[in-house]
């Protein structure tokens, strides 16, 4: 009975934290999707206030006392034990970071994001530089407060990918770089293949196609919605309220379509977490790498297959009419799989994508430890991009200003994209082995068997296991680069 009372106290406290975080999430969604520009100043203050309130709740003595008692007599239920462990991890971090720093980071990042958007549109890094310098300074303060071994980046990475560190990432990325650059170098014979259908594709028709695909994969529109933003994202605001976005260009439909598939993967994970437990610490994504695995699995391992387009190409042709008359199934899938050097990460093919992440990881490590002054970022970006891709970056919009992450303070976030790709390939290989012929399902627009497998192996597990343990339980082995490299080589075969 004593433990039940303590667990009730933990869940009561955590529900308040969760409500505050979901409110902050709603304000963040609104800021990116529909807030008028003149509201930015007040929104930055709102964001700072909520960040401070969340931090204060995490740091409360009462929460620590409850956790101490639960740790002295651990709950028998594994999910409750995981809740205690996760709550302790969050509180330990919160106690190390001053509330003033938390509020200032939230305020500056809220102010920085519209400046970044304007600088990106104008391709003018100098506009964003003062805010980037402020954010780097604050993130260094955060890393120092948390404490670190080996590299300050580890203190920030742990927030997104618990248990991962620079030593593991460096080894992993060094292992990946040579095979990836070799595959890219072998892609020159595919330059003649068009990157996508080009023509006049109505935005409303693109939206309808995206909604149809998201619904087919299993996204619940009674518990979610699709909107437009400068940078596509997914926000799991609350149980029954998951919001995804994409962006559109009228001359082509594939960017918006794959943006929807990607964010739908995130959304399916959010909608797959047990709603009745959402206010409990364990009931969240295991890590951002696992979260990203779900988006990349649906976007690439499913959405770029021939069988998927056997079902969706006729639907797209019905929506876009003559613009797709000359596009056969073979021609479309050929363009989807062709490796190409490109400047923009979110438009990158599967083979080159991880080189984009390796570039960002190396640069943000250098920005954080001071070996790269922020003012030199464009030159450093352009130099490393040329080294990895053999291309000269034309301007900042196609270079260091293309991502919103640093404006949002997301140092440590980028590596989770490549981790997600590795997890996705490994999960998909295991699912195909266990479920058998998924291609016949996809040809009929049926994705329920795969989604059910992901629900059981990943979504409903939440954070009751570590990312690596989830991977091992689902696939029978620890995370490896081999399934992804095998997948990429098969695309070229």
Sign of the dihedral through C-alpha 340, 345, 347, 352? positive
Catalytic residue among 57, 263, 292, 364: 263
Q: Do domains 2-151 and 168-492 have the same CATH topology?
A: no
Ranges of each domain in the chain: 2-151, 168-492
Which of 46, 26, 22, 42 minimizes the C-alpha distance to 34? 26
* Helix/strand/coil (H/E/C) assignment for every residue in the chain: CHHHHHHHHHHHHHHHHHHHHHHHHHHHHHHHHCCCHHHHHHHHHHHHHHHHHHHHHHCCHHHHHHHHHHHHCCCCCHHHHHHHHHHHHHHHHHHHCCHHHHHHHHHHHHHHHHHHHHHHHHCCHHHHHHHHHHHHHHHHHHHHHHCCCCCCHHHHHHHHCCCCCHHHHHHHHHHHHHHHHHHHHHHHHHCCCCCCCCCCCCHHHHHHHHHHHHHHHCCCCCCEEEEECCCCCEEEEECCEEEEEECCECCECHHHHHHHHHHHHHHHHHHHCCHHHCCCCCCCCCCHHHHHHHHHHHHHHHCCCHHHHHHHHHHHHHHHHHHHCCCCHHHHHHHHHCCCCCCCHHHCCHHHHHHHHHHHHHHHHHHHHCCCCHHHHHHHHHHHHHHHHCCCCCCHHHCCCCCCCCCCCCCCCCHHHHHHHHHHHHHHHHHHHHHCCCHHHHHCCCCHHHHHHHHHHCHHHCCCCCHHHHHHHHHCCCCCCHHHHHHHHHHHC
Q: Report the C-alpha dihedral over residues 156, 157, 162, 163, rounded to 10 degrees.
A: -120
The verdict on domain 2-151 having CATH code 3.30.43 is no
Series of mean pLDDT values for 10-residue runs along the chain (493 residues): 86 97 96 94 93 96 97 95 96 94 94 95 98 98 96 95 93 91 74 78 97 98 96 94 96 94 98 95 97 97 96 97 94 85 87 95 97 98 95 96 95 96 97 97 98 98 96 95 91 66
- Predicted pLDDT of residue 2: 61
- Predicted pLDDT of residue 191: 59
* CATH fold label, 168-492: 1.10.1370
Residue 417 near residue 290, CB atoms below 8 Å: no
- Predicted pLDDT of residue 334: 87
- Predicted pLDDT of residue 1: 43
- Predicted pLDDT of residue 192: 58
Which residues are paired to 225 by β-bridges?
243
- Predicted pLDDT of residue 230: 84
Q: Could you identify the residue written with the tokens 């969050």?
A: 90
pTM across the whole model: 0.92
Q: Is 141 labeled as catalytic in the residue annotation?
A: no
């Amino acid at each position: 009975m004593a433990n039940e009372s303590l667990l009730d106290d933990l869940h009561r406290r955590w529900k308040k934290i969760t409500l505050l975080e979901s409110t902050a999430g709603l304000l963040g969604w609104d800021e990116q999707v529909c807030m008028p520009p003149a509201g930015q100043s007040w929104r930055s203050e709102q964001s700072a206030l909520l960040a401070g309130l969340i931090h204060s709740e995490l740091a409360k003595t009462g929460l620590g006392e409850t956790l101490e008692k639960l740790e002295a007599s651990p709950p028998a239920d594994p999910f409750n034990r995981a809740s205690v462990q996760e709550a302790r991890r969050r509180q330990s971090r919160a106690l190390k970071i001053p509330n003033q720093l938390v509020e200032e980071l939230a305020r500056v990042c809220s102010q920085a994001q519209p400046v970044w958007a304007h600088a990106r549109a104008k391709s003018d890094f100098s506009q964003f530089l003062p805010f980037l310098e402020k954010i780097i300074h604050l993130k260094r303060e955060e890393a120092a407060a948390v404490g670190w071994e080996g590299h300050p980046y580890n203190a920030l990475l742990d927030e997104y990918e618990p248990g991962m560190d620079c030593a593991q990432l460096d080894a992993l990325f060094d292992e990946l770089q040579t095979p990836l650059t070799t595959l890219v170098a072998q892609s020159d014979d595919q330059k003649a293949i068009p990157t996508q259908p080009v023509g006049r594709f109505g935005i409303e028709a693109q939206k309808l196609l995206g909604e149809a695909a998201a619904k087919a994969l299993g996204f619940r529109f009674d518990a979610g919605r699709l909107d437009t933003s400068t940078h596509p994202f997914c926000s799991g605001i609350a149980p029954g309220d998951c919001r995804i976005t994409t962006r559109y260009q009228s001359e082509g439909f594939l960017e918006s379509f794959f943006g929807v598939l990607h964010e739908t993967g995130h959304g399916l994970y959010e909608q797959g977490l047990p709603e009745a437990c959402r206010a409990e610490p364990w009931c969240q994504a295991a890590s951002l790498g696992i979260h990203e695995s779900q988006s990349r699995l649906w976007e690439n391992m499913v959405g770029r297959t021939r069988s998927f387009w056997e079902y969706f190409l006729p639907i797209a042709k019905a929506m876009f009419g003559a613009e797709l008359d000359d596009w056969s199934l073979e021609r479309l899938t050929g363009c989807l799989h062709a490796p190409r050097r490109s400047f923009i990460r979110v438009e990158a093919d599967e083979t080159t994508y991880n080189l984009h992440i390796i570039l960002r990881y190396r640069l943000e490590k250098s920005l954080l430890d001071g070996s790269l002054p922020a003012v030199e970022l464009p030159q450093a970006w352009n130099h490393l991009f040329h080294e990895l891709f053999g291309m000269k970056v034309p301007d900042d919009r196609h270079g260091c200003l293309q991502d919103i992450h640093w404006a949002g303070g997301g140092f440590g976030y980028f590596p989770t994209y490549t981790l997600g790709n590795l997890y996705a390939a490994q999960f998909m290989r295991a699912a195909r082995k266990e479920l058998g012929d998924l291609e016949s399902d996809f040809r009929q627009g049926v994705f329920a068997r795969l989604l059910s497998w992901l629900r059981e192996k990943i979504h409903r597990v939440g954070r009751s296991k570590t990312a690596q343990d989830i991977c091992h339980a689902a696939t029978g082995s620890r995370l490896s680069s081999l399934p992804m490299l095998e997948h990429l080589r098969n695309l070229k075969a």
